[in-house]
A and B are shown apart, each in its own frame.
Chain A
Amino acid sequence: MPNVMIRVKDNGALLFYIAKKDQEDEIAKVEKDSETEWGGEVELTDGSRYYIDPISPPPSFPTTLRFKRAN
């Protein structure tokens, strides 16, 4: 269950940063991304997938969230 800091990149994409792993990847796809909620399964550009219970209302970035590894 890594702590993930998510920030908006210059190009508008969301950057998924895991400090412990020094991993910086863009989020390619979010399962639920609407005006009322944000979350579910998140897929990164490198193909790895993480899960977070949908948050409602959507969080404002940058923020730190706790994700689970999706399988």
Chain B
Amino acid sequence: MSDLTREETEALIQEVLEVYPENAKKDRAKHLTVNDQEVEQSKKCITSNRKSLPGVMTIRGCAYAGSKGVVWGPIKDMIHISHGPGGCGQYSRAGRRNYYVGTTGINTFGTMNFTSDFQEKDIVFGGDKKLSKIMTEIEQLFPLNKGITVQSECPIGLIGDDIEAVSKKTSAEIEKPVVPVRCEGFRGVSQSLGHHIANDAVRDWVLHNRDGDTSFEATDYDVTIIGDYNIGGDAWSSRTLLEEMGLRVIAQWSGDGTLAEMENTPKAKLNLLHCYRSMNYISRHMEEKYGIPWMEYNFFGPTKIEESLRKIAAFFDETIQANTEKVIEKYKLEYEAVIVKYRPRLEGKRVMLYVGGLRPRHIIGAYEDLGMEVVGTGYEFAHNDDYDRTIKEMGNATLIYDDVTGYEFEEFVKKVKPDLIGSGIKEKYIFQKMGIPFRQMHSWDYSGPYHGYDGFAIFARDMDMTLNNPCWNKIQAPWLKGEEEAEAAAAGA
């Protein structure tokens, strides 16, 4: 349980809102709430997926970030052109650590930046010719690419270029799929719409490509990993577990994924959905069109992994179910050793999270396995269905904040005084300077993987390493410390 009571937390929210002008206060109040597990529907207590207020600091991205950065970017054997001025592509290049196997620049292109680098004349006269030329050049320079996607940046939508026509024409010329994605940054309120647009582009341009093709030999145990972006190798540590169960993973969406895998996905027996927010659209579509069931799973922390493995096994026959029990048994020794080692060092510590996608609710289980407690959580770009799922995971009277502003987050931290914060790089140094241990939870602070049993060991080590780092009691300069302490230090020396 949180140290703050429900009333205290409510008072805290009111206090933080106090500085805003009347209208802003009214708007922001809807995005902050105290968790109540009794509530069935989040829309009764929290508003989400609304435009951020002008004048406050938001941590959100744009539709282009959602499409190029998240969904399409990790598809390793396709070339993703950032169509528009150069910055968007450059600053989103390789930052997310979507690991993949392959030789970059030869048969995989994950960390490279392809851009049409718009200049003034392209805005004035249109960029279609340039796009067409770029794609021909790409085909000459990188003949092993399996296809091209055109990720539009803002100006493309503003000047009304017909990227669909260019894509169709080029696709016929180079005899490879060319996918136009209308993910201009100004669409929607956050990267979330970019995910949706990217999913729709997969649906319209990729998914049905091999519908009549029977050369792929399907088995009864084919599953896919959907919505795992292989950050620090996450999808790999998930995949090994599924394979040990006796399942065959035929596609990874989209971390370490390929175009062929995406095209073969409709031949799977079950779609396993990790990041619900970014890939639920395509899963729902496949269920409707191809009759493939999908389920959400959670591979953070042994308790949730065990639950998820059993739930996955229930879709298959008894051999798989028996194997699953063996897998759980096999890793029991490993993860129990991890808990024995780290739990005493982390027990009772309080954590505040503010990330995106699935993490604000999925990681809670992993912290609880280590005896820690999540006292506040929030999403950058979640929708109501995410909060529906979060309410059950969080303790009563804990804080929930949607699209929290820089100011609010800082104030909450000052009052709640958590022992650890998990958020993004923009928050990292603010909180570290405040003397609070911090993990950058977007790409696991350059560590990882955190999924699966192997990932849990790394997760526990990282949390311990951060929380119990001796630097935290050196934050205050020695001459600013109280006299008593100085005397005590002198006596000790």
Contacts and interface: CB of A to CB of B under 8 A. Distances in A.
Nearest to B288: A62
A46 interface: yes
A18 to B, nearest CB: 10
A17 B284 contact: yes
Interface in A31-71: 46, 62-64
Interface of B is mostly: helix
Contact of B49 (A5, A7, A22): A22
B193 to A, nearest CB: 11
Contact of A64 (B41, B288, B383, B384): B288
Given A19-B281, A22-B49, A24-B388, A46 B288 contact: no
A17 B285 CA distance: 12
Interface residues of B, number: 11
Interface string B360-388: 00000000000000000000000111001
A22 B49 CA distance: 9
Contacts, number: 23
B383 A22 contact: yes
B287 interface: yes
A22 B41 contact: no
Nearest to B294: A7
Interface in B384-399: 384-385, 388
Contacts of B284: 5, 7, 17, 62
Nearest to A63: B288
Contacts of A63: 288
Interface string B412-454: 0000000000000000000000000000000000000000000
Contacts of A22: 49, 383-385
- Residue from A17, A22, A23, A62 whose CB has the most chain B CB atoms within 10 Å: A22
Given A22-B49, A46-B41, A7 B384 contact: no
For the complex of A and B, 8 pairs with smallest distance between CB atoms: A22-B383, A22-B384, A62-B288, A62-B287, A24-B385, A22-B385, A5-B284, A63-B288
Interface of A: 5, 7, 17, 19, 22-25, 46, 62-64
Given A5-B288, A24-B385, A46-B41, 11 more contacts: A5-B284, A7-B287, A17-B284, A22-B49, A23-B43, A23-B384, A25-B41, A62-B284, A62-B287, A63-B288, A64-B288
